[in-house]
Amino acid sequence: MLSIDKYAYNNLLAKWRPEVKGLLWLFGMIIAFQPIMVIKLIAIPTVAIATMWAVKVNFHQYLKWFYAVIPFIALSIIGIAVTLAPRADQVYGGIYMFGNYLGVAKSMLPLAEQLTLRITTAIVCTYWFALTTPFQQIILLFKHMHFPSLLIEETLLMYRFIFIFVDSFEQIYRAQQLRFGYANLRLSMHSAGILVKMLFEQVIINYQKMVYSLDAKLFTGEFTVQEDKI
């Protein structure tokens, strides 16, 4: 299960108006993309602490949520900073290969630093928004901002069914694991193939069942999103 979603419903800011949270997030994005570095350096710990306070998690747990994005950030930073240069003094820690020096480019380093700060600020702010805003509020915010209804419906259904999908994935994976399906690399490849195939088959079967129940609920082709009145 995607437990990260639970925090959005049970946090100190859950009842705040989504517009306020949306504006604060936008403000965070502006900070992330403006040029003054010091503001970002202040914003990152401030927002991080605010998130941990509102969501009531410790630093260790908070850091764990970054594991998912760190590989992507690392890859893009490495791609920018590490380079092949013809002269040794153009790079830090140069290794001589193929007549060039492989290392961190001196000219690119400031850019890499800027980028790291910008990305981190943006992620910290987005985590704050995602962790404090229940999905329902995000949809209402979209609606207030007059997003196209196709996009809203798509988001709505994806959110609902991603949990079912992750659940099926976990069930199949666990069953395979219990029967030693991932004991070595060769078996793992094979099991992963079966897993994907089974998920695909389930999607088709579930699709048919969903069509039936949409029929039973007199589906007209539109998923309505309503303000909170009930």
Give the footprint of another protein on this chain (CB under 8 A).
1, 5-6, 9, 134-136, 156-157, 159-160, 163-164, 206, 209-210, 212-220, 223-226, 229-230
- Rounded distance between C-alpha atoms, residue 72 and residue 197, angstroms: 27
- Edge to edge, the sheet with strand 100-105 lists 82-85, 100-105, 91-97
- Spatial distance between the Cα atoms of 136 and 18, rounded to a whole number of angstroms: 9
Smaller CB separation from another protein, 1 or 36: 1
Min dist CB 198 to another protein, Å, is: 17
- What is the C-alpha separation between 211 and 218, in angstroms, rounded? 11
Between CA 35 and CA 45 the distance in angstroms is: 18
Q: How far apart are CA 190 and CA 166, in angstroms?
A: 20
Amino acid at 32: A
- The neighbouring-strand residues paired with 82 are 104
Of 6 and 64, CB closest to another protein: 6
Minimum CB–partner distance for residue 226 and another protein (Å): 7
**In whole angstroms, how close is the CB of 97 to another protein at the nearest point?**
52
User: What are 15's two structure tokens?
Assistant: 């009842």
Minimum CB–partner distance for residue 23 and another protein (Å): 23
- The residue among 84 and 130 lying less far from another protein, judged by its C-beta, is 130
CB of 138 to another protein, least distance (A): 10
Nearer to another protein, 173 or 223 (CB): 223
Give 50 or 198: the residue with its C-beta nearer to another protein.
Answer: 198
